[in-house]
Amino acid sequence: MTEIKKDIAWRIFIVYFAVCLFGLAIVAKALHIQLVEGADLKKKVQNRTLKDKSIDAVRGNIYSSNGSLLATSIPIYEVRFDPNADAITKDLFNEKVDTLAWSLSELFKDRSPASYRKELIEARKKGSRYHLIRRKIKYTELKQMKNFPLFRRGKYKGGFITIQQNKRERPFNSLAARTIGYERKDVTPVGLEGAYSKALSGIDGKRLMQKISGGVWMPVGDADEIEPEDGRDIYSTIDVNIQDVAENALMKQLETHQADHGTVVLMEVSTGAIRAIANLKRTSNGSYYEGYNYAIGESTEPGSTFKLPALIAALEDGYVDMGDIIDCGDGSKQYYDRTMYDSNYDKGGWGKITVQRILEVSSNIGMAEIITKSYSQNPQQFIDHLAKMNLRDQLGIEIAGEGKPYIKNASEDTWSGISLAWMAHGYELQMTPLQILTFYNAVANGGRMVKPKFVEKITKGRKVVEEIETIVLNPRICSKETIDKVKLALEGVVSNGTATNLKNADYKIAGKTGTAQIAIGGSYGSNKDSYKKKRQVSHQASFVGYFPADNPQYSCIVVINAPSRNVYYGNLVAGPIFKEVADKVYANSLEMHKELESQPFYANSAIPYSKNGNKADAEKVFKQLNIKVQSKAADNDWIMTSTLEKSVRLEPRSVKENLVPNVLGMGLRDAIFLLENQGLRVKINGAGMVKSQSITGGQRIVRGQEIQIELS
């Protein structure tokens, strides 16, 4: 027995020894891996396993001055499907593929369920792990997709893969589109998006991600390495309501005159804040769109609007005064080989008039006379004086692409004997509409020239990060006396000069018309010969001014380029737009209104006139006003009213299903309610009470048909 035990014992020890050797070999191999192969292996790790992935910061919004959203980022998604996810078994896939295909077809309505089914089955068969379902999916659609069969199982169990991207949206579409702008990869950024790109875009974050088996990236820790800092919000100076009016007015006028392009800019006098800036360009099919920021980018010969700076120079240098009499002759005058005409040449010209009158009636010859007489000895003095008033400098606005002003020196090759005479009324030089406006704004502002600004403040959440201060370009472009003198003349332009059509009783407008001839195909100003040839002439009509004239709050410029009809005078083409914008601003700004005298309340002494409409509404109002009502409409919702001596009579107006209702005499609200309830599309003209309707009441309704109503 002990023999056996001893025999077994040594065998056990041999085995134990062998196992220990095995163990030693394992440790040795592990050490070998660490010490010998280690370096190479460690290198491989870093390449393959860890990666800093950037987390996109959310781009900030652009708001209007009154808080409407002008540009924002919305998420869109790309959805992919891993039909070969580990957790999707053959049975599961076959069971769900039909309903999944049906759901997709139902949601997107672009292809049949069978076609989707085929696609899904093929994707699985091909062994695809990243099959594209669809791009540009909206959040609401994504939410629905998350409930689809298979997809609702999520990423790993259902193979539902979503990739988020951000898309820039402008809720007001084309409104101020070029000024709001955009920023895209590999394209020069445009507008505020470009100018404030740094503030808007924020700082991308970083997160250390690790690749895990199956090609999945997983965050290494809970915390991001660098938290993304979301972009700041920008409050632009633009007022959407005024912008809307400006754009519509411009559109209407461009369409009427079939002009090539036009621009309107409204600026706040004291701060330089741009409240509206509209640019429209004609397309080949005759419609208009915001294609280029003409106000900022296009330098052209301004024409008569330049007479103001020219006159100010002459006044300041003491060569003339407003009361001086200048002989404008018979409406035409020869300067070397060129003849200059005044607009009333056919009526015999202006004759001898005062300097003030020259500006009011916009006499070319008058201005040419003043400037040539004043500066013929020293033309450079004129140029230097213009430069002193910042007219030769760019404004330096933050939006890219500002046009350069071009005013040549007397020493330049292109300078000629007629240069002074032509520059006096805005030729042989170029400026952008915004530069002209800034000058007029300075005049309105008592000589203080401020830089136009497009942004009021930059905020982060509710906190204001930066208030954009108004920058003064020139504290005093000329003396107070001169300002007062030219202001009077600019008021004269509207009261009894070239723009009497802008006169109105509510508030005074001061400004200057401009009608410039543009040589098509010639290079402006730089080459005298091509300028003289002028084979084909096009016009640029403009009006620039400010209002209310006695206490200027806003300045505005309108430039219409190449109106193709015969009407091309600044007051007629550009003036109405100016008027419409000014009216809107005036209506919105209580501080501009004169206080009305209080009026006695007449409600009890006379029975008011009432529109037709909803019976309950009408009765409520009459009851409130203690007016007697004679009602013949017991069960009707809609009534006609007739005003009697001491009461109002209500008569029923029947509204029947599928018949066009009669809305004559109703207010807009009731009319639209009735018509649209019947499935009609309503187009409205005018304001007030419905005067006529394009489809008369009682006719059978064709759903979706358009009905026009005229209000007055």
Partner 1 sequence: MQVINKYIKGDRVIWAVALLLAIFSVLVVYSSIVTLAYKYQNGNTEYYLFKHSIILFIGFLLMYFAHKVNYRYFSRISQIGLLLAIPLLLFTLLTGASINDASRWLVIPIINQTFQTSDLAKLALIMFLARMLSKRQDNIKDFNQAFLPIMIPVLIVCGLILPANFSTAAMLFVTCLVLMFIGRINLGYIISLVSIGVVCLGIFIAIVMNSDVTNRVGTWQTRIENFIDGNAQVNYQAEQSKIAIATGGIIGKGPGRSTQRNFLPQSYSDFIFATVIEEYGIIGGTFTLLLYLILLYRGVLIAKNAPRTFGSLLAIGLSFSLVFQAMINMAVAVNLFPVTGQPLPMVSMGGTSIWFTCLAIGIILSVSRNTENEKVEVKNG
Cα(86)–Cα(92) distance, integer angstroms: 11
Cα–Cα nearest to 230, from 203, 190, 249: 203
Q: Are 514 and 426 in contact (CB under 8 A)?
A: yes
Pick 41 or 621: Cβ nearer partner 1: 41
Q: Confirm or reject binding of residue 11 to partner 1 (CB under 8 A).
A: yes
Pick 209 or 655: Cβ nearer partner 1: 209
Cα(128)–Cα(287) distance, integer angstroms: 47
Residue 184: helix, strand or coil by DSSP? Answer: coil
Q: Confirm or reject binding of residue 38 to partner 1 (CB under 8 A).
A: yes
Binding mask 172-211 for partner 1 (x = CB under 8 A): --------------------------------------xx
Min CB(46)–partner 1 separation in Å: 10
Min CB(97)–partner 1 separation in Å: 22
Binding mask 422-451 for partner 1 (x = CB under 8 A): ------------------------------
Residue 354: exposure state from Cβ atoms within 10 A (0-12, 13-18, ≥19): middle
Min CB(32)–partner 1 separation in Å: 8
Q: Confirm or reject binding of residue 505 to partner 1 (CB under 8 A).
A: no
**Span from 134-142, 213-221, 403-411, 482-490 in contact with partner 1 (CB under 8 A):** 213-221
Min CB(21)–partner 1 separation in Å: 10
* Touching partner 1, residues 18-37 (CB under 8 A): 19-20, 22-23, 25-27, 29-31, 33-34, 37
Cα–Cα nearest to 566, from 586, 537, 527: 537
Pick 7 or 676: Cβ nearer partner 1: 7
Among residues 203, 216, 465, 616, the one that binds partner 1 under rule CB under 8 A: 216
Cα(515)–Cα(544) distance, integer angstroms: 11
Beta-strand runs (E) in 488-567: 510-519, 537-547, 554-561
Min CB(24)–partner 1 separation in Å: 9
* Touching partner 1, residues 288-327 (CB under 8 A): none
DSSP string, 445-488: TTT-EE--BSEEEEEETTEEEEE-PPPEEES-SS-HHHHHHHHH
Q: Confirm or reject binding of residue 12 to partner 1 (CB under 8 A).
A: yes
Q: Confirm or reject binding of residue 152 to partner 1 (CB under 8 A).
A: no
Pick 167 or 211: Cβ nearer partner 1: 211
Q: Confirm or reject binding of residue 9 to partner 1 (CB under 8 A).
A: yes
The half-sphere exposure of 647 on its side-chain side, counting CA atoms within 13 A, is: 8
Cα(663)–Cα(675) distance, integer angstroms: 8
Pick 16 or 341: Cβ nearer partner 1: 16
Q: Confirm or reject binding of residue 51 to partner 1 (CB under 8 A).
A: no
Alpha helices for 146-176 (secondary structure H): 154-158
Q: Could you tell me how many residues of this chain bind partner 1 (CB under 8 A)? A: 43
Pick 16 or 609: Cβ nearer partner 1: 16
Cα–Cα nearest to 444, from 512, 364, 393, 496: 512
Pick 40 or 645: Cβ nearer partner 1: 40
Cα–Cα nearest to 153, from 77, 86, 219, 98: 86
Residue 174: exposure state from Cβ atoms within 10 A (0-12, 13-18, ≥19): middle
Annotate 34-50 with b (16+ C-beta within 10 A) or e (fewer): eeeeeeeeeeeeeeeee
* Touching partner 1, residues 62-91 (CB under 8 A): 86-87
Pick 225 or 619: Cβ nearer partner 1: 225
Among residues 47, 127, 218, 646, the one that binds partner 1 under rule CB under 8 A: 218
Pick 12 or 621: Cβ nearer partner 1: 12
Among residues 147, 213, 284, 523, the one that binds partner 1 under rule CB under 8 A: 213
Min CB(210)–partner 1 separation in Å: 6
Q: Are 690 and 709 in contact (CB under 8 A)?
A: yes
Min CB(60)–partner 1 separation in Å: 32
Binding mask 102-141 for partner 1 (x = CB under 8 A): ----------------------------------------
Q: Confirm or reject binding of residue 45 to partner 1 (CB under 8 A).
A: yes
Among residues 51, 153, 157, 457, the one that binds partner 1 under rule CB under 8 A: 157
Q: Which amino acid is it at 12?
A: I
Min CB(85)–partner 1 separation in Å: 10
Pick 20 or 625: Cβ nearer partner 1: 20
Cα(524)–Cα(300) distance, integer angstroms: 8
**Span from 39-47, 182-190, 605-613, 652-660 in contact with partner 1 (CB under 8 A):** 39-47
Q: Which amino acid is it at 145?
A: M
Provide CB contacts within 8 A for 642, sequence distance 6+: 648, 649, 651
Pick 87 or 603: Cβ nearer partner 1: 87
Q: Confirm or reject binding of residue 5 to partner 1 (CB under 8 A).
A: yes
Q: Confirm or reject binding of residue 44 to partner 1 (CB under 8 A).
A: yes
Cα(271)–Cα(450) distance, integer angstroms: 7
Pick 8 or 621: Cβ nearer partner 1: 8
Q: What is the sign of the dihedral through the CA atoms of 137, 141, 143 and 145?
A: negative
How many C-beta atoms surround the C-beta of residue 365 within 10 A? Answer: 26
CA distance readout (Å), 504 to 267, 439, 551, 632:
21, 25, 16, 46
How many C-beta atoms surround the C-beta of residue 183 within 10 A? Answer: 19
Cα(415)–Cα(429) distance, integer angstroms: 11
How many C-beta atoms surround the C-beta of residue 289 within 10 A? Answer: 14
Q: Confirm or reject binding of residue 13 to partner 1 (CB under 8 A).
A: yes
Q: Confirm or reject binding of residue 156 to partner 1 (CB under 8 A).
A: yes
Residues that bind partner 1 (CB under 8 A): 4-5, 7-9, 11-13, 15-16, 19-20, 22-23, 25-27, 29-31, 33-34, 37-38, 41-42, 44-45, 48-50, 86-87, 156-157, 210-214, 216, 218, 220
